[in-house]
Structure 1
Amino acid sequence: MKQAIMTYEEYSALVMDVSDCICYIADPVTYDLLYVNRKGQRLLGLPDGFPQDKCYRILQGKDSVCEFCTNALLSPGRFHTWEFYNPKLARHFFIRDTLIEHKDKKLRLEFCFDITDRKREEMKLKSRLSLEKTLVHCIYTLAGEKNIRHAMDSLFSIVGTYYNAQRVYLFEFNESKQTMDNTYEWCRAGAPGEIDKLQSVPLHYATPWIKRLETDGIIVINSLKGGHEWNFMECHDVEQQGVHSLMAVPLRAEKKIIGFLGVDNPAANLEDTRLLLSLFLSLCRTIWKNVGC
């Protein structure tokens, strides 16, 4: 005898149509999504009634069973709790899963509580703690290293690691010759070095950079594609080198810009420029004063 198909109202009656979280019921064998509550329907953009598709396709945007599926961990009467970031919805969730039995059939029941705001605050705190730890590391490195080149090598390595960058480098201006030189460089393992190619570069190429640094105090470029005004080195093809983004802060002496620090292709902590601003606007200035530059 063919089993009668339950209505939306019957599924909803099993769990009540809770409004403070996403709730759904799915078949753990076929992965058919049988029910999504009203809040879930709104967030997922679903019409009223039955979803009519697989849970992994509707909930996760996948074409096959999720590799993190918890079906094997579930049993009736017990909740399995976990946290998950849903890329389709771009939200963090605290999840409670269990199996319920209805008409001799086991069904997966899941409650998803949106904790995105909490996770963002946690990540901000983690970022602040990471920044403070990195700054302390930099200060100890500078205080304990008397050789300026060794100090800069260590410092650039710390900065490059913090931003997961391809390259960290320093340019110094020579006013009398109207040129600039790449004087220090750190490269991630496997990344090509550029320092030998970037000596005695005509200073006028950096005019847009200097103007921007004077007004804003920092340069952050998320995409260099088509931004020819930022490619101040005609001999340096940024696209050929795979440079697609960068950050830069000025090196100053008596309020005058005498160079700048650059970071190519930063891939971590992109929203946090405080390390560059707080460290290189103060500590690097102190370094050059101590060595008489």
Structure 2
Amino acid sequence: MTYEEYSALVMDVSDCICYIADPVTYDLLYVNRKGQRLLGLPDGFPQDKCYRILQGKDSVCEFCTNALLSPGRFHTWEFYNPKLARHFFIRDTLIEHKDKKLRLEFCFDITDRKREEMKLKSRLSLEKTLVHCIYTLAGEKNIRHAMDSLFSIVGTYYNAQRVYLFEFNESKQTMDNTYEWCRAGAPGEIDKLQSVPLHYATPWIKRLETDGIIVINSLKGGHEWNFMECHDVEQQGVHSLMAVPLRAEKKIIGFLGVDNPAANLEDTRLLLSLFLSLCRTIWKNVGC
């Protein structure tokens, strides 16, 4: 059949991707104009398997819905297509043509809606975490316990390997790792990181002064960021980190660091800055 003949079966809709495939051989028989543009296909229908063209796979998709389809009834579902990096709302059915059943699918792009949903979910998670921090402060009178609890909350929120606080001692020109939280199984570093010469942190301080935050996605080859001579980031398995400054008035007096954060990375500045505000509240209002 020609492109025009397949188009006549479904009408060449323009508001979604539409395709027809053989549910037995998986041959892709037809893709509408919008689908061709999105997939980068030439005019006319391609001669290949649906799973290869639509999903970039070498074999039948493990999530194939062919077994769920029947004529006259639509199966609806949502799916993220990694090849296109888009979210879709999908309607599948079987149509009959010349005594043969064919798979017909309509794919509606809902990527923008999904992104908004994820942003809302992230904001709600952030608010819940901040409320947790506030309740932790309200119920704890021991500074060590309060800091341990807050570090645990932040580490869990970011699914991090380690969360730590460095404080500067200008009179001695050193800095000390004063608090840390480590994920279960991760080695502690706090005992090794005392009286570290302050000049090793110069690149960090300059970056924090100008940007207000440090986010490093890969530490490979970035030796200028490994200011701790006794702390080999590669040996410790640290491949990424983020940090925000601890300030007294406008002066940087330390920083909070997070090693290998793996979740909620879009909330770095807000949560970490608020976290340091909570730390200052502890120092002012809670007795040791």
Q: TM-score range by the shorter chain?
A: over 0.9
Per the alignment, residue 261 of structure 2 pairs with: 266
Q: Cα distance, 1:157 vs. partner?
A: 1.2
Q: Say if 1:151 and 1:139 are closer, same or farther in 2 by CA, change over 3 A.
A: same
* Alignment-derived partner of residue 177 in structure 1: 172
Whether the 8 Å contact between 1:249 and 1:280 is mirrored in structure 2 is: no
C-alpha contact (below 8 Å) 1:166/1:266 kept by paired residues: yes
- C-alpha displacement at 1:50, in angstroms? 2.3
**Structure showing greater relative contact order (alpha-carbon pairs closer than 8 Å, 6 or more residues apart):** 2
Structure 1 residue 200 corresponds to structure 2 residue 195: yes
Residues 26 and 107, structure 1, Cα contact 8 Å, conserved in 2: yes
Q: Counterparts of 1:197 and 1:189 in 2: how far apart (Å)?
A: 19
Partners of 1:290 and 1:258 lie apart in 2 by: 19
Using the TM superposition, give the Cα deviation of residue 165 of structure 1 relative to its aligned residue in structure 2, in angstroms.
1.0
| Deviation by residue 1:238-267 (Cα, 9 ceiling, x = unmatched) | 122221211111112233222111001111
Instruction: List alignment gaps of at least 5 residues for structure 2.
Output: none
Residues in 1 aligned to 2:125 and 2:219: alpha-carbon distance in whole angstroms: 28
User: How many Å apart are 1:148 and its aligned residue?
Assistant: 1.3
How far apart in 2 are the matches of 1:151 and 1:81?
49
Conserved? CA contact 2:143–2:283, under 8 Å: no
Q: Measure, in 2, the Cα distance between the counterparts of 1:291 and 1:215.
A: 32
Tell me how far 1:154 sits from its aligned partner: 1.3
Q: 1:31 to 1:80 in 2, by over 3 A?
A: same
Task: Say whether residues 1:17 and 2:21 are aligned partners.
Answer: no
Larger CA deviation: 80-89 vs 237-246: 237-246
Q: How many residues align?
A: 288
Which residue of structure 2 lines up, in the alignment, with residue 64 of structure 1? 59
- CA deviations on 1:43-84 (whole Å, 9 max, x unpaired) are 111111221111111111111111111111111000011110
TM-score under structure 2 normalisation?
0.96
The within-5 A match list for 1:77-226 is 77-226=72-221
Residue pair 2:18, 2:106 contacting (<8 A) in 1 also: yes
- After superposition, what is the alpha-carbon deviation per residue over 1:68-116, rounded to whole angstroms, capped at 9, x for unaligned? 1111111100001111000000000000000001111111000000011
Deviation at 1:276, TM superposition (A): 3.3
User: Whole-Å Cα distance in 2 between the matches of residues 88 and 217 of structure 1?
Assistant: 36
Counterpart of 2:267 in 1: which secondary structure? coil
Q: 1:236 and 2:231 equivalent?
A: yes
CA distance in structure 1 between the aligned counterparts of 2:252 and 2:287, rounded to whole angstroms: 16
Distance in 2 (CA, whole Å) between partners of 1:291 and 1:120 is: 41
Shift of 1:208: 1.4
8 Å contact kept, 2:142–2:287: no
Q: Separation in 2 of the partners of 1:246 and 1:96?
A: 42
Q: How high is the sequence identity, in percent, across the aligned residues?
A: 100
Q: Aligned-pair distance for 1:190?
A: 2.1
Tell me how far 1:281 sits from its aligned partner: 3.6
Contact map agreement 1:252 1:285 (CA 8 A) in 2: no
Q: Following superposition, which runs of at least 4 residues in structure 1 exceed 3 angstroms of deviation?
A: 274-278, 290-293
Cα RMSD between the aligned structures? 1.5
C-alpha contact (below 8 Å) 2:81/2:87 kept by paired residues: yes
- Is 105-114 or 43-52 further displaced after alignment? 43-52
**2:285 is matched with which residue?**
290
Further displaced range: 175-184 or 134-143:
175-184
Q: Does the 8 Å CA contact 2:213/2:269 hold for their aligned counterparts?
A: no
Shift of 1:292: 7.6
Q: Which runs of 5+ in 1 are unaligned?
A: 1-5
For the 8 Å contact 1:253–1:285, the answer to whether it is kept is no
